[in-house]
Structure 1
């Protein structure tokens, strides 16, 4: 048959009707066209994929689909009820994670042990987070979380039987506890992001992140209560593994592994031959991700220092004022830890709820509302914390008031920040993005801030080592670093606001283009057939 052109006949490719092919000739009659290479840019090529739904596979082409695609069970759309149960389970485990982290903070242990154990805990977190991020973008996220949390349960229970005399063993075990948090904090938000979209995603992310301040506060409350009841802070560490084991069971039974990008309508997307280095390069070119990560780092510096030293700071302030006697032998008064825990829980719930509500109300009218909310939270908290630090020497109630206002403003950011990451990064790189952000914010933030403030305080104390008043003043002066870091964090979020709209659109375009089946570059004339089977 003469078609009027010299046609090269390749082996026909049968393309799913649900796929969008860049160079597709509709075969109502026969036709041909020239291709001179792919017109997709580098990122679109890397993110190209084919539909993996079994209902749209035709002929033998199904056998040649990528082997790393989600299974049939994974591609099944989850019911709303199942999705809500999943979020509830993830919230519970997040609560236990942060409870454990702050159970021994503020207790009557040596300052050296406290700050060293905390620093090594975060260092292990920093090392492991990128590993779990890499795995979370490529393998079954549910199994990765279960494995990490299993290590966490064992290490937490083991550390409860070690005394202070075995200093480095206790520090090592507390460091290994970071395995659980590294696996969980990196992956859990990406699962929620794949279950919900739009306003519902913001609400669910808010529910998840609200348990960071709530868990931290309960850690102080439970730690101090158990220490008072038993005379030994280690019993609190024995309670956490029991609660953690329940979390493991709930994860295994109720938590699915949804397809990456499912909530964005791209549940079949997979990365096509991308390396970890390519993922990192993509993220470093994403200005919103970079600037928001720096803002999160400043926030982590603040929260880490405040969470670790505030109960001790308030206790020393009351000793300096003569309100309570100094503690020379255990058990010491833990009322400051208890009160600070209650304040943290209340302000956390209020701040996260308020931040997510403002975000939902403004997002449609103000495209860069989210980073602006974060900037207001950071810039507003700085003078509050400055006032709290200065007033501690004269009025403890006023100090608590300003701490509460400052923590509320800081808590505005938790859910909003997570939402920013989810919509400026393509679905198949979100776990890596979470891991890198966590690594940076802990490395430059709360890994060093407690140790840095403690070291500054210790250096100042050498001038009057036996003075309780100077013990308080030295910590007060070191605390003055925090408001300046808060202002710096606010500036980082203002920079994020300049790029957020563009980067969000880029992520949406890349995700959409990643759904297109791409023809290989070639210079000869080809035909692409599209069959429709009724």
Structure 2
């Protein structure tokens, strides 16, 4: 192996088996994101399963929302633990155990007999992901030289848009024809992937400085002194905050802005057809009756329809208001006019935008970072991440202010530039950490960017929307694009020195 190690201790060229390792880790990451979006795609069907939910449960929406986020909490909190193990044992074994746990939990979601069991399986999904999330990029960094890591990280994270798209397709199509449970059972395929990990050769850690891996606190203390790591982590936190909030609320915002509503006979037919698995109406008859006075109303916007619902409430305004709040999604969907854009169409268009723009941006971002590096640009990966991120700001603001369909094009550009930094940002983190602390370093990065990013941004945006509007919330959130991009450009001056010091 001597001829394959550069003067800094890292490989001078891709090590034997690197391509096989990248392929396996990519497929694992792909199924990870398939699982995440399968849940999102089948949420409407989960609501109709009487074994899981009572349609009269006033906390139904909250319980559904918790299902989508509980895995992220366990994933974020436990990533540092598994990252610590990843620096002390066979990393492929850590990945394999994580994938086995994740695939059993994900497939087991389809076997849940009640809400609590479903909640526990989703929590276990996060435990499994935490085991391989920080370790996988660390291994890839040890298998490839600095000059190739940009493309490698871009390929690895390409699983995000592709897997998300496949998740919506699998969840939507299989869920429609064979039921929501079958959609989850598909992810049992991950069990086969997990076993493959135990037969993979362990990549060397060429610049380990002592026999005993450093403790977690020692790694944390070292990372705090690496300026590029700190700035890179802060920039990723800002963009994760924005992407998490946009992904959660953009379809709702677009639907509320563009849809038109009217209460007609078709509205009542649609509500009558919606029934749970034990044949109970999803929206009770007494709630439907409160809509009768609005029959024949002219087409109105979301805000106008919401006001009309308030204006026609009976004397018991508090109880009626709670009913409309609880069943609001069903009522608004049923009252959407035939010539109006539907929430399903919005989700479809937004999904295509995320997939196509994310696919192209992730690949181009990795290539562009390496292009700047080859041209001798100091802090190449910081520049690639920073300037592209700042370009997203005017496009996102424009999408909030101009009419559709022009806004769709601006939204595409905004998402494209928000994804562009994925490869460069993750590559620069790998390059400024020593091999024997990378797994723990990535785990700490995961903890920070999620706990201060997409874990908190959706509820914050929801709160601002309640106080003001979703548009105001998005405009405020967009400022973090500029902050993140500025931080990355500011960090460029130290990147080359930190990379050399790490002996990447």
Q: TM-score, normalised by structure 1?
A: 0.70
The CA distance in 1 between the partners of 2:220 and 2:92, in whole Å, is: 23
Say which one has the larger Rg. 1
The CA distance in 1 between the partners of 2:222 and 2:440, in whole Å, is: 11
Match of 1:238 among 146, 171, 185: 185
Partner of 2:397: 386
Q: How big is the shift at 1:371?
A: 0.7
Partner of 1:176: 124
Partner of 1:140: 90
Match of 2:425 among 396, 417, 421: 417
Task: Considering fraction of residues, name the structure with more helix.
Answer: 2
The CA distance in 2 between the partners of 1:225 and 1:453, in whole Å, is: 31
Partner of 1:250: 196
Partner of 2:380: 369
Partner of 2:36: 101
The CA distance in 2 between the partners of 1:402 and 1:225, in whole Å, is: 29
Partner of 1:482: 477
Query: Over the residues paired in the alignment, what is the CA RMSD in angstroms?
Result: 3.0
SS at match of 1:105: helix
SS at match of 2:377: coil
Partner of 1:186: 134
Native 8 Å contact 1:382 1:487 kept in 2: yes
Distance 1:111-1:313 versus aligned 2 partners, 3 A rule: farther
2:349 matches 1:339: yes
2:353 matches 1:327: no
RCO comparison, higher one (Cα < 8 Å, 6+):
1
| Per-residue CA distance 1:205-257 (angstroms, 9 max, x = gap) | 22101112222233233333334434x44432222233x2232243344x332
Partner of 2:247: 307
Native 8 Å contact 1:319 1:326 kept in 2: no
| Per-residue CA distance 1:162-200 (angstroms, 9 max, x = gap) | 47xx54543333222111221121111111111111333
Partner of 1:492: 487
- Which runs of no fewer than 5 residues in structure 2 stay unpaired? 48-59, 262-298, 303-330, 336-341
Distance 1:102-1:456 versus aligned 2 partners, 3 A rule: farther
2:73 matches 1:123: yes
Q: How big is the shift at 1:132?
A: 0.8
Distance 1:313-1:251 versus aligned 2 partners, 3 A rule: farther
The CA distance in 1 between the partners of 2:460 and 2:258, in whole Å, is: 23
SS at match of 1:90: helix
Distance 1:180-1:273 versus aligned 2 partners, 3 A rule: closer
2:171 matches 1:223: yes
- Within-5 A mapping of 1:372-451: 372-391=383-402, 394-395=403-404, 397-451=405-459
- Which runs of no fewer than 5 residues in structure 1 stay unpaired? 1-16, 19-46, 50-74, 461-472, 512-534
The CA distance in 1 between the partners of 2:247 and 2:155, in whole Å, is: 21
Native 8 Å contact 2:14 2:145 kept in 1: no
The CA distance in 1 between the partners of 2:407 and 2:175, in whole Å, is: 25
Native 8 Å contact 1:133 1:435 kept in 2: yes
SS at match of 2:164: helix
The CA distance in 1 between the partners of 2:185 and 2:460, in whole Å, is: 30
SS at match of 2:88: coil
SS at match of 1:259: coil
| Per-residue CA distance 1:32-52 (angstroms, 9 max, x = gap) | xxxxxxxxxxxxxxx9x9xxx
Native 8 Å contact 2:111 2:181 kept in 1: yes
Distance 1:506-1:485 versus aligned 2 partners, 3 A rule: same
The CA distance in 2 between the partners of 1:160 and 1:390, in whole Å, is: 42
SS at match of 1:154: helix
The CA distance in 2 between the partners of 1:169 and 1:481, in whole Å, is: 38
Q: How big is the shift at 1:131?
A: 0.3
SS at match of 1:156: helix
Distance 1:390-1:199 versus aligned 2 partners, 3 A rule: same
Partner of 1:41: none
The CA distance in 1 between the partners of 2:149 and 2:389, in whole Å, is: 23
Native 8 Å contact 1:119 1:451 kept in 2: no
2:150 matches 1:202: yes
| Per-residue CA distance 1:92-119 (angstroms, 9 max, x = gap) | 1111111211223364365423432333
Distance 1:187-1:217 versus aligned 2 partners, 3 A rule: same
2:464 matches 1:456: yes
Q: How big is the shift at 1:269?
A: 5.3
Q: How big is the shift at 1:270?
A: 4.6
The CA distance in 2 between the partners of 1:302 and 1:111, in whole Å, is: 23
Q: TM-score, normalised by structure 2?
A: 0.74
Partner of 2:366: 356
Q: How big is the shift at 1:328?
A: 4.7
The CA distance in 1 between the partners of 2:109 and 2:142, in whole Å, is: 35
The CA distance in 1 between the partners of 2:119 and 2:462, in whole Å, is: 17
